[in-house]
Amino acid sequence: MTIENNKEQRLVILDTETTGINPREGHRIVEIGCVEMINRQLTGRTYHAYIKPMQHGMQMIMDQEVINVHGLTDEFLRDKPQFDQIAQEFIDFIKGAELVIHNAKFDVGFMDHEFAMAKANLPMTHDICTVTDTLKVSKDEFGSPKTLDFLARHYRVDKLVDRTYHGALIDAQLLGFVYIEMTRKQSALNLTVGEGDSEGSDANAIKRLPINREKLKIIYATADEVTEHEKRLAVVAEKGSEPIWKN
């Protein structure tokens, strides 16, 4: 996977929850969760929808085994919109973005099935977006495909999200944190020596400061600022992590 040097690159981290594992057997999407990222930074924008699964004009009844995974019951979904009612707003959110999905074949397969079932001449996923599959990326990194749970533990972000249930928005948020760590080393530094602000120099190159420049003023933290800093580190510690400079 190549990370382009494009500050306007828009990623959408996506996950779905479904009534089963195979849309060809009539299974449907019951939840979609998306988080937006621009230039590898989470923006805070999300898309989230619960969806009433339909079959033969009636609401599907889910197996208890499936309910145990995502925590969504038939009763909870009864008053939720059908997919065709949210399809356009969903497309509007992901259109033109690069989708980042863990096991994209599964989610894209369900999305394309839903687009086709809507019978509104909706485009397929690859007509709307490009797709990066982090399951395939993990195979390149570790020699074999890894689960999202494994990656979250490996990159030490598993404590950042409460995953009592595998909700779509929750898992999309977790995958966002995993993606940031997974691709961190691919943000290459440009080590070209720049020539100040001379015309034609690379804006991303390292610029050398004059040797006779004024010394920088050192501003020390106040006692109150140190106290607030320690409080923030305590919060990080409670979530099972620690600052990188302590690793």
Point out the residues that are catalytic: 166
What lies within 8 Å, CB to CB, of 163 at 6+ separation is: 170, 171, 174
Q: 3-state DSSP call for residue 35?
A: strand
For 79-142, the three-class secondary structure string (H helix, E strand, C coil) is: CCCCHHHHHHHHHHHHCCCEEEECCHHHHHHHHHHHHHHCCCCCCCHHHHCEEEEHHHHHHHHH
CA 71 to chain centre: 21
| Sequence-ordered alpha helix ranges (H) in 25-82 | 64-70, 74-77
Query: Which pair of structure tokens corresponds to residue 220?
Result: 């020390």
Terminus-to-terminus CA distance in the chain, angstroms? 27
